[in-house]
Structure 1
Amino acid sequence: MVMYCVLLTPIAPCKSLWIRGSAKRLKCCINEEGFRLFLKTYLEVEDFPKDLCQRLFRSFQIHLSKSTEEVFLKDVSCYFSLLEDGQPRDKLEFAFKLYDRDGNGVLDSSEVDRIIAQMMHAADYLGWDVSELRPVLKDMMTAIDADSSGTVSLDEWVEGGMNNVPLLVLLGLKVGKDGQHLWRMKHFNKPVYCNVCQSMLLGLRKQGLCCTCCKYTVHGRCANINPAPCTRTYVKSKKDTGVPTHDWVSGNCDSGKCDKCQKKIKSYHGLTGKHCVWCHSMRHDDCASQEPSDCNCGPLRDHILPPWAIYPVIKQRSNSGTINPVPDTHPLLVFVNPKSGGKQGERVLRKFQYLLNPRQVYNLSNGGPGPGLCFFRSLKDYRILVCGGDGTVGWILDAIDKANLQVRPPVAVLPLGTGNDLARCLRWGGGYDGTDLCRILKEIEVSTPVLMDRWNVEVILEDPHETGDPVPYEIINNYFSIGVICLCCLDNSYGHFHVEDEKHPQKFNSRMKNKLWYFEFATSETISASCKKLNECLTIECCGTPLDLSGRSMEGIAVLNIPSMHGGSNLWGEAKKSECKCLMNPQEMPVVIVDPEVLKVSGQDVSDRRLEVVGLEGAMEMGQIYTGLKSAIRLAKTSQITIRTKKPLPMQIDGEPWMQPPCTIHITHKNQASMLMAPQGRSSFFSSK
């Protein structure tokens, strides 16, 4: 696992190493110490575990005698290039140039064998059954060197590689056009048969290729034998729009139940049964032939945008659309952050690409939310599902603001990773636990739209010439805090890096250094000294009314928009329903409430256009608040707030901390986002801490 984490750390592209370095540099051998230095430089880390370094080093001692205690630097570079993100063609060209010693554009067979050895090495690391891949690559080499000259040109090498499906999957092929399978290598824990040759897939590891979208399954060698195309995701003729049709894929329904005759689909050592890509029903072969051609999209009908609802218009008018949803449905636009929650994001992405039309499911690593919002913008009634953390949700809400949509669609959340305060408040829970996604889709179907306030934050430095840390966000969705409360977010806040890295890659390195410095500062005695007697180093005005902080020994202030903070802590506390005044019409509610007796019976409402202000006497209180034993000190309920600080203080917005020099902070209402609240009986947002 350690090796896996290290190898997938963002690293400088290998291609740049070829461009910057000389050919001679990449021909040399390096010893174990040089190998360790290479890893530290290449992965941009301060140190590298010695035992892991030794194991990796030994894994490259394939072509040299182990007694030499050296490895080829070019083998190492080739291996890492295969594991990186990037285009398959670029990887093929880079590997070729790496081994082209004299730069004449030709490799001999032994050099090509060296490249293939590193491909096998990378495939083995990724869990492939290399006994399946080896003959596929061997066949490719035979085809490339058709004239048996013993040499391969760059054009021959690239053309051969780009026509070899298993190799393209290994190199990270992306789907380019409709009808192209979205292949991935997969391990099957029960007998599975190839859709091309109809024989069983054998092997102990990942035995074959399976299409994420339609579940068409093949041997690696059979993927090159013109398999049937993947399911269509749109119709190519206008006369086919609105014509619902089953799309049956044969085989691998063993142990399933036929949805027509209700009898078990039994395997007879071959392809068994059929399943429809759109309604996901299974049939015996005979039952499928008797089935009407009309497809009703099954239990997920309300969410699916089937191919017969999409027709690409080449020259469309500005007000014309290409999507005509099935009547009485609410198509779901899904955004997935694949880096959220470890590998959870990638698995969720693949599952939704199968359950829905792949054109409804967007990987936020590939261009952000813009393409999805643009594709759906002509629809009048649709929903959005965001799969990620609170930072990802904020990203999507910002994008909806900037897209200037005619209709603002309601947003549901599938929380990935930890924290997820907003998802807790909307009853979607503190983190995805592997629950069947069909069940979650049914809950979205019966969810309730609610409005959620969002707030502008303006920070004005007291000394405009002073250079402070950048303020992470300009909008508050969850909360803002000053003082010791910020320390509690440190463990959870690291989860927001993937979002910021994708939105603003240029900020990633500097913000990581800032957080490491902040953590060091937080664990020193400096923090307790700087945050004591907070009332003496700041003032707070709520709608022009000064808050009286005298006589209170507080070390933290929090401004709350939602009733969850730091992974489930309710700082405001619960109010008795019989006394709760949170349901008062916002127009009737005072713009500011500071009376302690009124605050005592005031609840929270994410759509009341009000913020709650609380104080904390010390960091130790957070443990008691987290377990529900007490709440923070209620100071005010207000529609706008101004805070003036007299010295540098730690602050945070929605879990992102920074150190702020003396300044004036204005927080005002921005707008309201339409969100989806999960059904009442699902789970409490405090149940998944």
Structure 2
Amino acid sequence: MEHIWLPCSSSSDDTDCYLGDRGKCERSGDKLRCTACHVVAHSGCLVHLSTGSVQCKTTFREPHRKGREAVDALGGHHWVHRWKYEGRCSGCAKSFHQKIFFKGIQEKKEPAAVTCSWCKESFHLKNCFDDHKLNEKCDKGGLRDLIVPPQWIVRASKKRKMNSQNPNPKSKTFMVRRADSWLGCPSQPLLVFVNPKSGGNKGAKALQTFCWLLNPRQVFDITSLKGPKFGLELYRKVLTHLRILVCGGDGTVGWVLSTLDKLSWPVYPPIGIMPFGTGNDLSRCLGWGGSFSDEPLSQLLNSISHETTVTQLDRWKLQVMANVDCPLGDEEDEEVQSSLPLTVMNNYFSIGADAHVALQFHHSRSANPQMLNSRLKNRIAYGGLGTIDLFKRSWKDLSEFVQLECDGVDLTPKIKELKLHCILFHNITYYAGGTVPWGQDQDDSCKASYCDGRIEVLGFTTATLAALQMGGRGERIAQCSTARMKTTKAIPMQVDGEPVLLAPSLISLSFHSKVPMMRREKKGVCAPPLRGRTRGRRSGTDSPSSSTSLIVQIPVLVVGRHDYDTFKDSLERLKDTAFEIGTIKAETEMELSRGRQIIDRLLVDHPCLPYEYSSDWSFLDYVSNADEGTFRVSRQEECVMAVSDASNTDDCLLILDDSFPSMTERSREILTSHIMFLPSNDSPWQPPTHSTNRRISETLRIVLSADAQETHL
């Protein structure tokens, strides 16, 4: 199996080249990482790596390999040596220590760990790894119910590909066949569609992490493949057991649903959402949140199996006919369209003021795509356009050009009476980035729901639209199952965020279908099993007394928000920016909630703390999901996680405090005001590199401590 090479995530990646210990490392070119097995090598070392025995994990089977033995042969572990590894041994539960090797000392470097790329089990190579594990079957770890096994994916034979009449021969390269005879058959195989352009750089990073956690052939880049059609067609034969995860905004979810409509699937798989978009209102409604936090993706995948229920989402059909009684005049805008951009609505359909702002934003982004390429910039631009429209009141006379009928009842007089500037047909709970336009109503008879076969119709003026962001709500017009609207002028409209200037038309809205969606329901955090108990099970006993807790002296280091966002993928670089606030005495199995109380006292009693601390600081976990980086521990998880679950008790305990100043930002100031680098005549001045980072950090700590002592005195 060939590796899937991509550039390492950041320049701070200090992972050694895989060939470094064997004397074959060229040390030339950029470092590349295989997204499937996490082997790291220089670009100049790939030739030597390909000639060796370092193969990537096999993600499919060849067509000529048939029979039970061929299928079972793909079910083994894929062991890879790791020269540096954070985390704990699955055998002895101790952390992995890397020896420090200095230049000039000719000593053979030994691997720190050996890890399976499928189940993620890690062992010390010398004392904890047994040879019988080389022939042992792999159970695919905690995500076994989601991982598509390589036994299912068959590469098509060359003869079959040559005879294929499909205009897209790539779709015939592989076929997916369910192998029920294999004992490790997943109960909920997951298909992942990622929009890497969403969420800044988070989308691209999530794509690589999913390839590591799952089978890379069940993860698809929805932009490079120009849609989800290829992946959906590939897995069509297993649709009755399939689940889908969409990593993007509400528009990406609509893209997948519309493709399913075109493929005419008899049954739609349940769909979950990883919110990477700007508004993410559908994601909020289904319990996935309004934005993606730094939750480990392995934890997110676990929640799909254990924290989701399948619910139904109503979808609505929009039909447009031209209003022949009001033909367009020569003075009308050239941008007027005769049809809507979407014919099926999932979230909302609106007409008037808010669609006018969305249309202006669409034109601005089309003209300057490089200026509006992040969620924050989009929100700022959208807010600015909305503020301008608030004063202009461009569609204050909307009621003069609209006639509305809901379930056969004419509501045009009510629209004229209220002098509405916007009419909204709302299918879900949230709108415009988290607002609740229908309001929270305890009366079940008129409570808004996305699965009751009714749609909520609301009206707004420009002022009430602006008040939505401050907790306001719209004017309730009706709840209905059918609606008809007649316009006598070209009016801006939008369907699920896709705006258009629509010519005078007759628009009818009716129920289209229900689709299954995965709703995330946060349950109580399950306490991880104690490592002592795990060892007891392996030895045939279940006695809790086999767990031992040691008392350790562990330093507590604090990092700031800017440094955490910059270096959270590299633990060593992150610790370089940290400030030690003291040392605590604690048991290794002490709950983090108890540790919070001890650290709070440490902060209060500190004689010269170099900053004003905040009580909202968080613990950082750099052990349990070390392959994915460093993560914040939520307050709810502190009562079920131990000190040793989040940190290496032989090293340090990390906390994140937004009030702590950035060490890297302060180091630049100190660099210019306290440290002078004098260039030679042969070389120009260069900024400090990684080799000077530790010296700068130490200087910064001295200055911070001096400032604190002066303030204290």
TM over 0.5: yes
CA contact (8 A) 2:357 2:389 kept: no
1:166-181 alignment runs, 5 A limit: 178-181=1-4
Which residue number in structure 2 is paired with residue 478 of structure 1?
347
Which residue number in structure 2 is paired with residue 559 of structure 1?
425
Which residue number in structure 1 is paired with residue 591 of structure 2?
none
Could you give the per-residue CA deviations for residues 1-20 of structure 1, whole angstroms, max 9, x where no partner exists?
Answer: xxxxxxxxxxxxxxxxxxxx
1:451 Cα deviation from its structure 2 partner: 0.8
Given the alignment of the two structures, is residue 459 of structure 1 paired with residue 285 of structure 2, yes or no?
A: no
Q: 1: CA distance between counterparts of 2:393 and 2:189? A: 51
Q: 1: CA distance between counterparts of 2:453 and 2:260? A: 20
Which residue number in structure 1 is paired with residue 294 of structure 2?
434
Relative to structure 1, the CA distance from residue 339 to residue 439 in structure 2 (aligned partners, 3 Å threshold; closer, same or farther) is same
Q: 2: CA distance between counterparts of 1:623 and 1:537? A: 23
Relative to structure 1, the CA distance from residue 525 to residue 361 in structure 2 (aligned partners, 3 Å threshold; closer, same or farther) is closer
The one-letter code matched in structure 1 to 2:274 is L
Which residue number in structure 2 is paired with residue 387 of structure 1?
247
CA contact (8 A) 1:342 1:417 kept: no
Q: Which runs of 5+ in 2 are unaligned?
A: 100-108, 165-171, 329-333, 370-380, 526-713
Which residue number in structure 1 is paired with residue 709 of structure 2?
none
1:56-455 alignment runs, 5 A limit: 178-187=1-10, 189=12, 191-198=14-21, 208-227=31-50, 228-236=54-62, 237-238=65-66, 239-242=69-72, 244-268=75-99, 269-286=109-126, 287-290=128-131, 292=133, 293-312=136-155, 314=157, 322-324=177-179, 326-327=184-185, 329-367=187-225, 368-379=227-238, 380-446=240-306, 447-455=308-316
Q: 2: CA distance between counterparts of 1:491 and 1:253? A: 51
The one-letter code matched in structure 2 to 1:627 is M
CA contact (8 A) 1:259 1:282 kept: yes
Could you give the per-residue CA deviations for residues 269-305 of structure 1, whole angstroms, max 9, x where no partner exists?
Answer: 4432111111011112243334531111111111111
SS in 1 for 2:418: coil
The one-letter code matched in structure 2 to 1:484 is A
Q: 1: CA distance between counterparts of 2:46 and 2:393? A: 63
Could you give the per-residue CA deviations for residues 101-123 of structure 1, whole angstroms, max 9, x where no partner exists?
Answer: xxxxxxxxxxxxxxxxxxxxxxx
1:202 Cα deviation from its structure 2 partner: 11
Which residue number in structure 1 is paired with residue 496 of structure 2?
654
Count of aligned positions: 464
Q: 2: CA distance between counterparts of 1:280 and 1:198? A: 23
TM-score by length of 2: 0.60
State the Cα RMSD in Å: 3.5
Q: 2: CA distance between counterparts of 1:352 and 1:423? A: 20
The one-letter code matched in structure 1 to 2:70 is D
CA contact (8 A) 2:26 2:45 kept: no
1:479 Cα deviation from its structure 2 partner: 0.5
Given the alignment of the two structures, is residue 675 of structure 1 paired with residue 517 of structure 2, yes or no?
A: yes
CA contact (8 A) 1:615 1:633 kept: yes
1:235 Cα deviation from its structure 2 partner: 2.5
Could you give the per-residue CA deviations for residues 185-242 of structure 1, whole angstroms, max 9, x where no partner exists?
Answer: 4546475332223279999999522111111111232112143232211133233324
Q: 1: CA distance between counterparts of 2:316 and 2:47? A: 55
CA contact (8 A) 2:26 2:44 kept: no
CA contact (8 A) 1:257 1:263 kept: yes
CA contact (8 A) 1:310 1:324 kept: no
Which residue number in structure 1 is paired with residue 468 of structure 2?
625
CA contact (8 A) 1:557 1:614 kept: yes
Relative to structure 1, the CA distance from residue 524 to residue 369 in structure 2 (aligned partners, 3 Å threshold; closer, same or farther) is closer
1:524 Cα deviation from its structure 2 partner: 6.4
Relative to structure 1, the CA distance from residue 625 to residue 611 in structure 2 (aligned partners, 3 Å threshold; closer, same or farther) is same
Which residue number in structure 2 is paired with residue 144 of structure 1?
none
Could you give the per-residue CA deviations for residues 349-383 of structure 1, whole angstroms, max 9, x where no partner exists?
Answer: 11111110000000112322111111211112110
Could you give the per-residue CA deviations for residues 611-632 of structure 1, whole angstroms, max 9, x where no partner exists?
Answer: 110111x22212332232x321
The one-letter code matched in structure 2 to 1:357 is N
SS in 1 for 2:129: helix
SS in 2 for 1:607: coil
1:657 Cα deviation from its structure 2 partner: 2.0
CA contact (8 A) 1:192 1:200 kept: no
Relative to structure 1, the CA distance from residue 497 to residue 666 in structure 2 (aligned partners, 3 Å threshold; closer, same or farther) is farther
Q: 2: CA distance between counterparts of 1:203 and 1:615? A: 68
Q: 2: CA distance between counterparts of 1:256 and 1:272? A: 11
1:651 Cα deviation from its structure 2 partner: 1.5
The one-letter code matched in structure 2 to 1:197 is G
1:406 Cα deviation from its structure 2 partner: 4.0
Percentage of matched positions with identical amino acids = 31
Q: 1: CA distance between counterparts of 2:520 and 2:359? A: 28
Which residue number in structure 2 is paired with residue 603 of structure 1?
447
Q: 2: CA distance between counterparts of 1:538 and 1:302? A: 52
Relative to structure 1, the CA distance from residue 481 to residue 202 in structure 2 (aligned partners, 3 Å threshold; closer, same or farther) is farther
1:404 Cα deviation from its structure 2 partner: 2.3
CA contact (8 A) 1:233 1:359 kept: yes
The one-letter code matched in structure 2 to 1:398 is S
Q: 1: CA distance between counterparts of 2:477 and 2:28? A: 60
Q: 1: CA distance between counterparts of 2:520 and 2:199? A: 21
SS in 2 for 1:637: strand
SS in 1 for 2:494: strand
Q: 2: CA distance between counterparts of 1:284 and 1:554? A: 70
Could you give the per-residue CA deviations for residues 535-557 of structure 1, whole angstroms, max 9, x where no partner exists?
Answer: 32211111222114142221111
Which residue number in structure 2 is paired with residue 539 of structure 1?
403
1:443 Cα deviation from its structure 2 partner: 1.4
Q: 2: CA distance between counterparts of 1:418 and 1:489? A: 13
Which residue number in structure 1 is paired with residue 638 of structure 2?
none
Given the alignment of the two structures, is residue 528 of structure 1 paired with residue 393 of structure 2, yes or no?
A: yes
Q: 2: CA distance between counterparts of 1:201 and 1:566? A: 57
Relative to structure 1, the CA distance from residue 674 to residue 252 in structure 2 (aligned partners, 3 Å threshold; closer, same or farther) is farther
Which residue number in structure 2 is paired with residue 593 of structure 1?
none
Relative to structure 1, the CA distance from residue 561 to residue 201 in structure 2 (aligned partners, 3 Å threshold; closer, same or farther) is farther
